[in-house]
Amino acid sequence: MSIVEEIEKNGLSIANCRRKYGIGGSTTIQKWLKKYGKNHLLNKIVRVETIDEIRELQALKKELKALKEAFAETTLENKVYKTYFSNSWSGNRNGR
């Protein structure tokens, strides 16, 4: 396919190729590239991580979980204190 070759060898973008050849479908050329061309031109993201990066990410996730739990516990304690002192305060005012 000359269109696939033109994209791969000449660096013509998919959008420009669609306009040049009057191709209406937005995925037509991507399908041709997948079938007849090199897959590296498709919209793919490849992420390479080192072992240290993976371990750091796991440690950060663990720390985030612990912080979320501590925040939830503190929030709950705060609500309990507010309820207790709110009731204690209104009880003292009514007793006067």
Task: Give pLDDT, residue 40.
Answer: 56
Q: How many angstroms separate the CA atoms of 75 and 69, rounded?
A: 10
DSSP label at 22? T
* 43-70 pLDDT tens trace: 666 677 899 999 999 999 999 999 999 9
* 63-89 pLDDT tens trace: 999 999 999 999 999 999 998 888 777
